[in-house]
Structure 1
C-alpha cells in the first residue's frame, strides 16, 4: 500500500508542474460470495447432488479528472477459491480490464466517452451492468451524450474484431459484430419520467456459400416511471424485429410494477411481466421468443436464474407474476419475493402423443437480507426455493419432485485507499 501511494504521488508530481485542477480517487473492492446450488438454474437431475463453492471479485478502480477530461481505469480478477494451487505461478483468469475509458466534456451539456465502458440504462432490462455476476459486463464503445437537468440523450456505437487483421476474418467471439443505440430520457417533473431506447445489434454469420454476412436485430420501446413519497411504479414495452441468422424476428416484452410505501420501514409491491415465446409445436422459422440481450437478467424472473440468464432463449417465453415485500430497519434490509411462472406460448409434447401441457411452470420463493456492517463493509445473503411443475420438468428436464433450492452469502468490502485533489 505504501509503495502504491508513493508511485501515485510521483506520477502526479510530474504532471502537476504544468497542469492544474486535478482529482484522483483510488478505491478497492473485494467481494467473495458463497453459494449452495441444489437445483440452481435448472431442476436437479434425478440421482444427482448439489454443490457449493466460493467465488470472488477483486477490483482496483482509478478515477482521474482534469478540468474537462475524465478518465477511468478498472482492473479486476475473478476467481473460484481453489481454482489454482496455493503455490501457483500464474492465475487461471489473470487480471482483466473491466473499464478503461476517457470522457471529454465539450460543453456543460455535450460530452463524448470512448473505450471499455458500462452501458446501463433505466432498470437495466435491455442494457445493464450485470453486477451480480462476478465478471459483470462492459463494452468497447463510443458514446456521445447531451444532458440537461430534465433531458438526456445518449448515442452510442461499437464495432468488434477478433484482432488487428489485414484480411477479412470471421468474427468468432460470441457477441455482436456491430452495435448502435440511442437512448432518450425526459424527466417531466419530480414524479414522472419517460425513456425511449432504440438498440440495433448486428451478428455475423456465414451463409451456405461460406460468405460472411451480418444480420441486424432491432430492440426498441419506452420505459415509464412514476414515483412520489408513497408510490413507486414503472411500465415498459419493448418490441424486437429484424433478422438473426437469416431468420425473421418478431417478439415483444411488456411489464408493469407497482410499489407502495405502507410505513417508513415497510414497502409492498406487485408486478407482472410477459416475454413472448414460440409454441413448441410451431413449425414456422420466425423467431418469436423475446431476448433481453444485455440486460441484468438476474434481477428479474427469480433469483435462481431459471430464465434468461444464459438459458431459456428461443423457447416458449415466460409470464411472471410476483409480489415484493421489503422491510428496512436500522442497518438491516429484508425482502421476500414470491414468483408464479407460466409459459407465454403453448407447451406441446412431440408426436405421436402431441399433448398440450399445463402452462404453469412453477413457483419460486426468494428471501434476502442485507446488513451495513460498517462504512465500507456490507453483508448480504439469501435463500430461494423452486417448486417446479411437470411442465417445467418437460422443458428443462431434471426432477421437479426433488427439493430444488439455492442459498448464498456475500461480503463486499469497498474502501477508498487514496484520494487527492489539487
Structure 2
C-alpha cells in the first residue's frame, strides 16, 4: 500500500514538472563498469624481463533521455578513472566529462535535424563506431540531417572543430581530431538483405613544421564504399569494401583499399561458427625507402571500433599501426549463447599486406607472417541489469612482428580481464 502511494506521488510530481507528460517520455538510467586487467604484451609484444601491468579502471555514467512528438534530447555524463589515481581525500580531479549532449528536432515524422555531441555508430562500426570497449568511449561534435522513410535511412553530417572561441585565425591543434568532416550514409533493408553506402570527407589540419605553427591548411582524404549482409538461414554472408583517396597531412597522395568477407553458420540456435578474411592495404617499407616514392598506400579505419575486428589485444589500428604495412587477418570465431551464458573463442592469423624490411639486412625483406592470436571470452547475466564478463588472450609473435613492433619473441604476451557491468534504469515515465 505504501509503495503504491509513493509511486502515485512521484507521478503527480512529474505531472506538475512536465505539463506534457502524457505525450512525452523521460528516462533516467545509468551505467557502472569496473574492469580489472592484467597486461603482459598488450598492444605490442612483451619485452625481455618485462614486469606485467595490473590495474582496475571504472566507467560511471548517468544518462538522461527525453522525447515527444517533435524532439528528442539526450545527455550522458561520465566519470572515467583508475582505482587509486587520486588521493582518498581529493578535493577535485579531471575524470568527469560530458560524453553526449544532443538535441534532435523532427521537421516531419521522417525528416529530422540532430546536433550536438553524440556517438556515431554506422553498420558494423568499422569506419564509425562508439568504441564502447574503451571506458571513455568515442563521441563527435557534429550536425546530422536524417531522412528515414520506410525501409530507407539517409544521413548527411557536417562537423567543424576549433580549439576555442577566437577573434582571428582558424588554427586547430587538438591531436588526433579532424578539423572538419562531412559524411553521407545511405542504408536500404529488405527482408533478408541489407546494403549500405558510406562517404567520408575527412579534413585534418597541417599546423606544424619543425615544431612551429606555420599555417592552417587542411588536407582532405576521401573514404567511400559500403557494406552488405545477406541472410540465407542457417547462413549469413557479410562483406564490405572501402577505397581511400585524397591527401594526408604531409600532403602525400593516398591510394588505399580495404575489404572484408565473412560467413556465419548458425549450427544450432545456440552455436555459431564464423570464418572470415579482412585485408587493409599498407605501404611497403621497401617502397617508402625510395626517396622518389611519394604515396601512402596504408588504409586508415579512422573512427571505427577497431578493438572489435583485429584481435582483442589491440595490436592493430587501436592508436597504432597507422601508415604502416597494412594487415591481412584470416579468422575463425566460435560463439555459444544459451540462457544467461555466452561463450566465445576467436583465432586470428595475421600477416602484413606490404613488405617489411629486414632490420639486419635492409636489402632483404622478411616473411609477412605477423603471428597468431587466440581470444577466449565469456559473459554471464547475473540479473536483468547486471552482467559479468571475462576473457583471456595470447599473442604468438614472429620475427616479423618483433621487427615491426619491438619486444621479444621468447616472452609470453598475454592479457587477462574481467568486468562487472550494472545498467540500472532509475526512472521511465512510460512505465
Q: Sort the TM-score into its range (normalised by shorter chain).
A: over 0.9
Q: Which residue of 2 aligns with 1:211?
A: 215
Q: Match for residue 251 of structure 1? A: 256
Q: Map 1:143-182 to 2 at 5 A.
A: 143-174=144-175, 175-182=177-184
Residues matched between the structures, number: 415
Which of 265, 275, 283 does residue 270 from structure 1 map onto?
A: 275
Number of the residue aligned with 1:229: 233
Q: Say whether the 8 Å CA contact 1:29–1:60 is kept in structure 2.
A: yes
The TM-score, its normalising length taken from structure 2, stands at 0.93
- Tell me which of 31, 44, 59 is aligned to 2:61: 59
Is this contact kept in 2: 1:83–1:92, CA < 8 A?
A: no
Matched, 1:306 2:311: no
CA distance in 1, matches of 2:223, 2:125: 14
Deviation at 1:421, TM superposition (A): 4.3
- Name the SS of the counterpart of 1:319 in structure 2: strand
2:356 to 339, 347, 352: 347
> What is aligned with 2:134?
133
The one-character-per-residue Cα deviations of 1:220-270 (angstroms, maximum 9, x if unpaired) are 101111124311221001010001121111111000010101112111110
Question: What is residue 72 of structure 1 aligned with on the other side?
Answer: 74
Q: What secondary structure sits across from 2:163 in the alignment?
A: coil
Per-residue CA deviations over 1:292-340 (Å, capped at 9, x if unaligned) read: 0000000011000000000011111000000011112221100110000
Q: Residues 21 and 421 of structure 1 are in contact (CA less than 8 Å); yes or no, is this contact kept in structure 2?
A: no
Aligned twin of 1:117? 118
8 Å Cα contact 1:176-1:201 kept in structure 2 = yes
Quote the offset at 1:45 in angstroms: 1.1
How far apart, CA to CA, are the structure 1 residues paired with 2:107 and 2:120?
Answer: 21
CA contact (8 A) 1:30 1:413 kept: yes
Q: Which runs of 5 or more structure 1 residues have no equivalent in the other structure?
A: 1-5
* Equivalent residue in structure 2 for 1:334, among 343, 367, 377: 343
- What residue in structure 1 maps to residue 34 of structure 2? 32
CA distance in 2, matches of 1:9, 1:334: 46
Q: Show the counterpart of 1:378.
A: 387
Change in CA separation of 1:220 and 1:230 when aligned onto 2, cut-off 3 Å: same
Give the structure 1 partner of residue 402 of structure 2. 393
Runs (4 or more) in structure 1 with deviation over 3 Å come to 6-12, 206-209, 350-353
Q: Determine the C-alpha separation between the residues in 2 that align with 1:333 and 1:395.
A: 35
Once the two structures are TM-superposed, the CA of residue 210 in structure 1 deviates from its matched residue by: 1.9
Q: Deviations over 1:13-50 (max 9, x none)?
A: 3441x775121000010001111101100011112111
